[in-house]
Structure 1
Amino acid sequence: MSANDHDELLARFEEDRSRLRSIAFRMLGSADDADDALQEAWLRVSRAETGDVENPAAWLRTVVARVCLNALRTRRSRREQSLVHVPDPIVSPDSGPGPEDSALLAEGVGLALLVVLEGLSPAERVAFVLHDVFGVAFAEIAAVLDRSPEATRQLASRARRRVQGQAPAPDPDLARQREVVDAFFAASREGDLDGLIAVLHPDVILRSDGGSGRPQSTVVLHGAEEVAGQAAATSRLSPFIRRVLVNGVPGVVVAPRGRLQVVMAFTVTGGRIVAIDVLADPHRLSRVDLGRLEG
């Protein structure tokens, strides 16, 4: 590759940075990890010695995807099997996400979906994200995974079935979603179990990740009655709740005396809450800037 071609490829990387970051974010479920992956990919591109690149966009996608695949494999090998892992949320003001957050969330990537993606194998996740979210051809994905296109198609199909079964799409009307979540907290404040059950899907799931700093907060609850009972029991936190968007859907932060304790995201489908995802890990909550939520 000539110096001029190399410079053009680096320039193309910068042009495509936003799209490449979106790909990395969906694969890794963390804005910080996506930024790290892009930095590693940029270093690889800057050091690359190869012939003419016929399709720069595809070549750069492949570089980023391989970096993410390695990161997923490393993460899977070192992470202890835990009850649940809630990825780092993107928390925005209730008025709407800023331009940078909007770019990450453009194709729709709720926290409930990211939780389900965490349960996929690294190869399944890469195949699903590249094909089903970004429309990349299986032949290109096969080169990333070092598998045949047919095997790659099967990986994506298996991942798709799991996602469709465990991460239903939220209702399209954000205002209506917020009404349902507000009704949930109104019933919680009053200790109204019937009111809580009315806005919860019978098969609702609540997933809470307290990390190593708050292991007692790592739980999974199933069913409207169990989730309603938990919500009623924590009604004392109601005065400290602030409405926000979490990965583009209605959520709240709970911050007594200005100290963030919990981020909650709600998936509302068919006018009822089908999933509640809670991050209570003190270490990861420390990365959330409460000051930027005053929008």
Structure 2
Amino acid sequence: MSLDDHSGLETLYGIHRADLRRFLIARTGDAADADDVLQELWLKARNIQAGPIENGRAYLYRMAQNLVVDRLREKQRRMERERRWSDQATDFAVAGVEPSDRSQNAEEAILAREEVATLVSAIGNLPDGARKAFELHKIEGLSHADVATRLGISKSGVEKHMAVAMKYLRRALQD
């Protein structure tokens, strides 16, 4: 299906909106962020001035992925700016300005230990396939393809296990 105008892309957006939202939630890990990206995608889809588009659905998903990557890069730039600012703020201490105490207090240390214990327990309680996929991907750092090979399942199976694991862990940490 070739799209010659942006109204076709808008129509496809409407058809695939729910699937795009699920895709974005999986990529961002947060429904509110996914909704923000989805809104930005809608605006871009409405205002795009491209030529004919061979596969409109794939085009929308690529746009969505690019928006997620753009947000991640912006977040990294912001964190780097804040780190540099923080480093400069430390220089004020040399000039006689007392810096804030950044060490963890006892309450924060206890809360951090409890959160780690909750996470370890939640990982241990994951369904077997989801736990194995999670540990190989997130802890050992293997790609989805490598996890699929190691577990003898498809890459899609790994993605499904990861989605189950992330949903379960988010819920466990929010409680």
- Structure with bigger gyration radius: 2
Q: TM-score, normalised by structure 2?
A: 0.48
Kindly indicate which of the two structures has a greater share of residues assigned to helix.
2
